[in-house]
Amino acid sequence: MAKLSIMDLGFFLTETDASPKHVGGLLMFSKPTAAADDYVEKLVDEYACNIDEIRAPFNQIIQFSVFKAPSWECDKNFDISKHVFYHTIEGDDFRDSLYDLIGELHSVRMDRSRPMWEMHVIQGIDDKRFALYTKLHHAYADGVTMSSWLVNSLSESARTKSVTPIWSVLPHKRRQSTADSISVMKVLTQLGGRYTDYIKAFTGLSKLSAQLALETLNLTKNAVAVPFRANSSTPLTGQVSAGRQIATAAVDMERVHRLRKLTRSTLNHIALTCIDGALHRYLQDCGTDINEPITIQMPVNLRKSGDDSLGNKIGIVLVELASKTTDPYERLREIGFTLRNVRYQIDGVPPASVMAYTVLLGGVSLIAEALKLGDVLPPLGNTLVSNVPGPAKALYLKGAKLEEMYPISALTPSNHLNITLYSYDGRLQFGLVATTAMPNLNVLGDYIHDAFDDLEKAVSPSLLANTKK
């Protein structure tokens, strides 16, 4: 029996029908050349019959008690038919029909009386492609962990014909870790390891608080983004409403690497520059563009190397993107400067301080959402953007090649949009999820593509000009 962390428990206590707290992944495959007509149906059968190796957390439910802290316990009535589903889709366009279905599936809050995960196998109308959509409650794992489970369930060889379900790739025994601790004190102590580190954690939190105070009083510049000061007059923010829609974008990694080399930037610099430009263009279309920088929430992974424990080990930092500009290169330079400041901020305090900072700010946001104050109080940020690293080589499922893989994340309080980056097999992929209240989400995906084109055009001439001087 394992206890829940404060962060994990928060995903349960603040969950509503309008704001379910699960994360998902969309995997799109091309069938093997010689695949039989019933290839997908047999794949579903293999998944449904392969339950002997089911492991935590896929066989666990949360138990609440008056006298004990909430904990994970095995589901004695586990039924695989409640978790693995088969769909066929119709329509002239496989992708549009698929995205509509995923939006519907991602909108529905999961039943707490059974383990909160689902796998949906989706047959395309052209008999050449199929898709998997996995759905897992955020209290079970963060996005990085879920991604690693999915990757480990696939093969690097097209010759592998056996199926390895995601629920069988974890260790047999749940590791005790920070994620299994219910108290803040214990969280900080375990992250730090020693009492002295525990003191350092609170010192680091005090340092972050002091930076916020100085920035709020305009006594420093770009030391740290101030929470709850983001502009709330756009479709990006407000009380989260029911219904979800998804969109995607993808760029060849070769283009990203070329821009990185030309500008001496990181992948995050390039991606955030393009997202920033796309968001401003989208807001212009909506008639709600803002003059001040867009503020994003950005998760950071706090796991140590080799840490395969369950639960969530992430921190959230706030990042101000660029001042409003039409020059993509200027936007890139400003975002690069900001991210270096953020990196300096994170490296200057222990990981426990970042987690405590996240719990405190996230707690305020979650309470505001629970009280339905999302349209009244300013949001923590305008949106959340995260980057989940993926495998560089192609993966396969029973001979079927994984062509595309998109994260479909949860929405944070007062945010109508989430953007998650995922790198896979030479492509940088963007998974966009939003409430149905946001208009024309697919257009935002198109604008991300356009922003990459604009940055390439802006960067090369400017660097050539500087070289000639």
3-state DSSP of the chain: CEECCHHHHHHHHCCCCCCCCEEEEEEEEECCCCCCCCHHHHHHHHHHHCCCCCCCCCCEEEECCCCCCCEEEECCCCCHHHCEEEEECCCCCHHHHHHHHHHHHHHCCCCCCCCCEEEEEEECCCCCEEEEEEEEECCCECHHHHHHHHHHCCECCCCCCCCCCHHHCCCCCCCCCHHHCCCHHHHHHHHHCCHHHHHHHHHHHHHHHHHHHHHHCCCCCCCCCCCCCCCCCCCCECCCCCCEEEEEEEEEHHHHHHHHHHHCCCHHHHHHHHHHHHHHHHHHHHCCCCCCCCEEEEEEECCCCCCCCCECCEEEEEEECCCCCCCHHHHHHHHHHHHHHHHHHHHCCCHHHHHHHHHHHHHHHHHHHHCCCCCCCCCCCCEEEEEECCCCCCCEECCEEEEEEEEECCCCCCECEEEEEEEECCEEEEEEEEECCCCCHHHHHHHHHHHHHHHHHHHHHHHHHHHHC
Domains held by the chain: number: 2
Per-residue model confidence (pLDDT) at position 300: 80
Mean pLDDT computed over 7-29: 87
The residue segments making up the domain with residue 12 are 2-178
pLDDT of 193 strictly over 80: no
Per-residue model confidence (pLDDT) at position 7: 66
Same domain, 367 and 442: yes
Mean pLDDT computed over 28-57: 91
Mean pLDDT computed over 12-32: 92
Same domain, 161 and 188: no
pLDDT of 82 strictly over 70: yes
Which of 110-114, 190-194, 349-353 is predicted with the least confidence, judged by mean pLDDT?
A: 190-194
Last residue of a domain, one of 178, 210, 241: 178
Last residue of a domain, one of 123, 147, 178: 178
Last residue of a domain, one of 115, 143, 178: 178
Of 221 and 181, the one with more pLDDT: 221
333-375 per-position pLDDT tens digit: 999 999 988 887 777 777 777 777 777 888 788 788 888 888 9
Same domain, 429 and 375: yes
Quick check: is 109 in a domain?
Answer: yes
Per-residue model confidence (pLDDT) at position 176: 41
440-455 per-position pLDDT tens digit: 999 999 999 999 999 9
Quick check: is 232 in a domain?
Answer: yes
Same domain, 10 and 49: yes
Quick check: is 198 in a domain?
Answer: yes
Per-residue model confidence (pLDDT) at position 363: 79
